[in-house]
Amino acid sequence: MAVEFQAMIPQRVTLGADVGGTKTLGVLVTRDPSGAPVILNEAKIATPQTATELVDTLVLLVETLMGCRPAPGQPVTLDGVVAQLDGIGLGLPGYIGLDGIARQAPNLKYIIGHDVGAAVAERLGVPVRVDNDANCGAWAAHQCDEPAADSLVMVTLGTGIGGGMILGGQLVRGANGFASEFGHMVIDPDGPRCVCGQSGCWELSASGNAFGRLVKEALASGRVHPLSASEAALAPGEAVLNRLSTEVPDDQRAAVLEVLDDYCAAVALGVANLVNLCDPEVVSLSGGIVAAGQPLLDGLDRALRVHATVFQGRSPRLRIFSGGASAGALGAALLAESLSGTGHGAS
């Protein structure tokens, strides 16, 4: 059902941008009368190759989403709705300090040491808040799906593994801002070398990329039926997961579920550690692999019950984030609410 707003009363809006290695997604967000987040507009733009160009790109993204360059403190009319931009949130990849400056960023090295947020704020005259992209995703999962939950862990299963943690209703950042780097928990000290320099990091066996490797091995061994001509145009992992939502022979579906169960066993090792660490009410999953849907949740639930102490006297809810690929941008916008003094936003 469409949400109706009073056209002449300025709606308090915030803008979020999730800066990725190749693309940057931006969203313009408000709250409906019940307090639920609503995306008013969204846009995607290519991520440039220098810090100066990134600031230019983010300014352009703001102008695209707002329909003009907003004057500080002045509302604009957007599709018949008067909107007041209270703040901008930026989700950046890597180790982002409490001051909003990247200390490490393997996938976007040129942002290291640059105060991107301050540069954007200076150009636009609008306050800017910067955080790690996975932290932004965790805040989106909390505010959109589980606002009543006191504690939540979000695990993003992508190229690597990202994450964020909500405790006491607030985002956990740690002493330096580097908390929740879940993907680099060491699961197997004798495992393969990670790009971070450690051996046996969780993301090596449980990321979306790791699932893709499992699928390739299963295809090579004949455990999973070969890809059809139409499936061959997709990444192997995506193609095989599609068999769970389409009409395929039972034996093909069963083979995919076996591979998914192997993958869930690897995911469960890290999730069990996180549950033992902070005893969350909710474990939320995001990333491309969540296209598997309920079979992923069922497989993870079975795998977690192998670790009996995880469920001893507790039952964290396993769920898939409802917002799809918008987690980082949406969470960044919602974090920026703290700049407005409206009572929303993480401290």
List pLDDT tens digits, range 324-341.
889 999 999 999 999 876
What confidence score (pLDDT) does residue 2 get? 47
- Tens digit of each residue's pLDDT (9 = 90 or more) over 231-247: 898 899 998 988 988 88
Separation between Cα atoms, residue 221 and residue 285, nearest integer Å: 29
Q: Is residue 347 part of a domain?
A: no
Query: Is the Cβ–Cβ distance between 262 and 215 less than 8 Å?
Result: no
Whether 169 and 121 map to the same domain: the answer is no
pLDDT band at 343 (very low <50, low <70, confident <90, very high): low
Query: Are 256 and 280 in a shared domain?
Result: yes
State whether 332 and 310 are in the same domain.
Answer: no
Q: Answer yes or no: do 133 and 152 share one domain.
A: no
pLDDT tens digits along 297-314: 999 999 998 876 766 767
In a domain, 1, yes or no: no
Same-domain status, 318 and 330: no
Could you tell me how far CA 91 lies from the centroid of its own chain? Answer: 10
In a shared domain, residues 100 and 161? no
Q: What is the CATH number of the domain that holds 200?
A: 3.30.420.40
Residue 345 lies in a domain: no
Compute the distance between CA of residue 326 and CA of residue 287 in angstroms, rounded to an integer.
10
The answer on 179 and 41 residing in a single domain is no
> How many distinct structural domains can be found in the chain?
2
What is the distance, to the nearest Å, from the Cα of residue 250 to the centroid of all Cα atoms in its chain?
Answer: 33
Q: For residue 40, is it within any domain?
A: yes
Using a pLDDT cut of 90, give the percent of the chain over it: 69
Contact 55/342 with Cβ under 8 angstroms? no
Do the Cβ atoms of 314 and 305 come closer than 8 Å?
no
Does one domain contain both 287 and 315? yes
- State mean pLDDT over 75-97: 87
Looking at residue 344, what is its pLDDT?
Answer: 62
| Residue 8 to residues 32, 36, 74, Cα–Cα distance (Å) | 15, 21, 14
* Paired tokens of 61: 């993204």
Instruction: Mark whether 16 and 131 lie in a shared domain.
Output: yes
Q: Report yes or no on 197 lying in a domain.
A: yes
Residue 253, number of CB atoms within 10 A of its CB:
16
- In terms of phi and psi (left: phi > 0; alpha: psi -120 to 50; beta: otherwise), the region of 99 is alpha
Q: For residue 99, give the amino acid letter.
A: D
pLDDT at 219: 93
Q: Are residues 122 and 217 in the same domain?
A: no
121 lies in the same domain as 133: yes
Do the beta carbons of residue 267 and residue 292 sit within 8 Å?
no
Structure tokens at 323: 């917002």
Same domain, residue pair 155 and 126: no
**69-73, 136-140, 176-180: segment of lowest average pLDDT:** 69-73
| Model pTM score | 0.89
Residue type, 226: P
The whole domain housing 194 covers 147-322
